[in-house]
Amino acid sequence: MKAIQVKEPGELNVVDLNEPELMNPQDVKIRMKAMGICGSDMHIFHGENPFATYPRIIGHEIAGEVMEIGDSVSTLSLGDKVVIEPMVSCGECYACKQARPNVCENVEVYGVHRDGGGSQVIVIPASQVHRVDQSLDWSEIALIEPFTIGAQSISRGNVQEGDTVFIIGAGPIGLCCLKMAKKAGAKVAISDFNEERLEFAKNWGADMVINPASADITERVLTWTDGTGANVVIDAVGNPKTVEQAISLTSVAARVVLLGFSNELSEIAQVDITKKELTICGSRLQTHQFSKIINLFNSSEFSVRDLVSHQYELSQAKEAFQLMEEAPPEVRKVIIKME
């Protein structure tokens, strides 16, 4: 079989590997059909992910078809279309006992800590596999995982119907946050320097879009919220300035969700946090969001396939990553077809 392997930072190849065998009765063998390229994959490619070891088969936004099941598996059948939940937790540490396995002390993610789904066949515990509606196409199914990330951010921000939500960054995850915030009944504004992404965000229901290159974000957000500031701000970029901006644009009793991340320091005055009694939290991976998102995807009213802007064949993996490197304005989500 063929697989997308980052041998070392900067070196990505489609390699030939032996097809894995089904050895454990709790496992299933899956023929992979689609893999989305995520910012995390790019970080591994660049050597910027401190948790990744090399060589590594990447891929965690993945969809496939069940081709063999272990004797103890009763939740899946041959031919099922499935999405993989790529996170494994220990179940014993403090975070796990607080029902927050996404920040487990020993969390492992397929495609980061373990070889991922960027191969034509994988063997994986059935507990990590979720069946989806047969009518969904493969690229749609591969979008389920990033939407769980968006759903986690909305949950962490406790977004309620009628809230005003400002999202910094209209990349794929920011757009997922937009869709989930609208689903929660919020009014949503989103900012980005990419006019094509802002136009797409408008089509996806954004109530206001802002390009910082041509508009004053503070003025626009305050006008939009009648001077109060946003009830929830989600920073999907994660650099020092956007963190500062996120906190400054809040209403009283607001929630700030930090989804992007950086090792650089931000300059933040304590006064706004205390005076407004802000809640500032991080959002990492997801906690028990898959069932909810799968139900949304299975419903005809929730159509998101237009998030996919480009699709490549497996043999074109290098070209797909090159497109992500160049990041032309029209790029949203890039899918690699694994067949």
What's the pLDDT score for residue 261? 81
What's the pLDDT score for residue 300? 81
What's the pLDDT score for residue 49? 87
Show the tokens assigned to 182: 């609208």
What's the pLDDT score for residue 18? 97
309 Cα distance to chain centroid: 16
| Per-position DSSP letters for 90-128, written without gaps between them | -S-SHHHHTT-GGG-TT-EEBTTTB--S-BSEEEEEGGG
Per-residue pLDDT of the chain (339 residues; tens, 9 = 90+): 999 999 999 999 999 999 999 999 999 999 999 999 999 999 999 999 888 999 999 999 999 999 999 999 999 999 999 999 999 999 999 999 999 999 999 999 999 999 999 999 999 999 999 999 999 999 999 999 999 999 999 999 999 999 999 999 999 999 999 999 999 999 999 999 999 999 999 999 999 999 999 999 999 999 999 999 999 999 999 999 999 999 999 999 999 999 988 889 999 999 999 999 999 999 999 999 999 999 999 998 898 999 999 999 999 999 999 999 999 999 999 999 998
Q: Same topology for domains 2-143+304-337 and 148-282, yes or no?
A: no
State the CATH class of domain 148-282: alpha beta
What's the pLDDT score for residue 55? 97
| Per-position DSSP letters for 171-184, written without gaps between them | SHHHHHHHHHHHHT
What's the pLDDT score for residue 299? 92
What's the pLDDT score for residue 310? 98
Q: Answer whether 44's CB lies under 8 Å from 30's CB.
A: no
- Domain range list for the chain: 2-143+304-337, 148-282
Q: Answer whether 170's CB lies under 8 Å from 188's CB.
A: no
Query: Considering the domain 2-143+304-337 in this protein, what is its CATH number?
Result: 3.90.180.10
